[in-house]
Amino acid sequence: MKQIGCRNLAQADHDPISQWMDGVVGGVVLAGVVVAGFVDRALACLRHRARFTMLATSVVAVLLLAGCSSPTTLYYTLSAPPAGQPVAMQSTGSSTPVAYRINSVTIPAQVDDTSLVVRQSPDQLMVLTFDRWTAPLSDQLRDALSQALTREMGVPPLQNLASNPTGPGQRSVSQVSVDVQRFDLLPGQAALLDVAWQVDVPGQTRQSGQSLTCYSELRTAAAPGVAPLVAAQQSNVLKLAGQIGQALSSATVSDARCF
């Protein structure tokens, strides 16, 4: 058997091919270590980004929900809050109350809605989506007049009761008709109410009855905001009720053009 000497062994250990292979293996190992470290850092970065993305998404979602929530709808009425004591029968000069009925109330179609309508310019109206009447405006005005006249006359209108005389000396029920010509809410300026109205007061006979037709132009200044506009129009309704009350009790009216 052929023996390999020490010199041959040394030559074998320094064989170029072996050295190249050792270098390749070492490089692969080193590259693996580097790649593994890079992958770990990349995964950590991705996890951090994922947490940040989830947090940012949650914040954006909360902001969107807050921004998309609907404003609160506010409801208004034309009936003014009661103040003081009623002036029952003070203007009649008699202990006998006047019987009357609100026969009809008409409102311009462009504002007869449950939403408040304000005037922006002479030829432009704006509907306030989130500011509403508690009922259609024509019903609102009828109810407000009914309450205001109750305070003026001492008795409510007899809307659903029999109106024919029941015996000698009994009077029929007076009839009140209201036709609104203008119902304007001018933001930051005033509330306007122009009304043609009529009171039919029956007498003991058909010939002795009286009919009074009047035209009222009512204006009340209003501060900025929807609530002040409504309060100003409530004041106009109270003024109108006062004029109608005068006509019912004495057939004379101040502050209105009658014929």
Query: pLDDT (tens digit, 9 = 90+) per residue, 100-143?
Result: 899 999 999 999 999 999 999 988 999 999 999 999 999 999 99
Question: If you count them, how many residues does the chain have?
Answer: 259
What is the SS3 string spanning 159-202?
CCCCCCCCCCCCCCCEEEEEEEEEEEEECCCEEEEEEEEEEEEC
Residues 6+ apart with CB under 8 A from 80: 144, 147, 148, 231, 234, 235, 237, 238
The tokens of 189 are what? 């300026």
pLDDT band at 20 (very low <50, low <70, confident <90, very high): low
Q: Can you tell me the distance from the alpha carbon of 238 to that of 195, in angstroms, rounded to the nearest whole number? A: 13
pLDDT band at 248 (very low <50, low <70, confident <90, very high): confident
The string of pLDDT tens digits covering residues 182-218 is 999 999 999 999 999 999 887 644 445 578 899 999 9
Locate all alpha helices (DSSP H) within the chain, ordered by sequence: 6-13, 16-68, 137-153, 226-250
Provide mean pLDDT across the span 65-80. Answer: 80
The tokens of 174 are what? 């007076």
Provide mean pLDDT across the span 76-104. Answer: 69
Question: Which residue, 183, 181, 179, 177, is CA-closest to 232?
Answer: 183
pLDDT computed for residue 237 by the predictor:
96
> Cα-flanking dihedrals φ and ψ of residue 221, to 5°?
-65, 150
As to burial, measured by CB atoms within 10 angstroms (0-12 exposed, 13-18 middle, 19+ buried), residue 145 is: buried
Indicate if the pLDDT at residue 91 is higher than 50. Answer: no
DSSP 26: H
Q: Considering only residues 231 and 88, tell me which one the structure prediction assigns the higher pLDDT.
A: 231
Provide mean pLDDT across the span 77-82. Answer: 88
pLDDT computed for residue 77 by the predictor:
94
pTM of the model: 0.67
pLDDT computed for residue 250 by the predictor:
77
pLDDT computed for residue 98 by the predictor:
82
Beta bridge partners of 105: 178
pLDDT computed for residue 66 by the predictor:
55
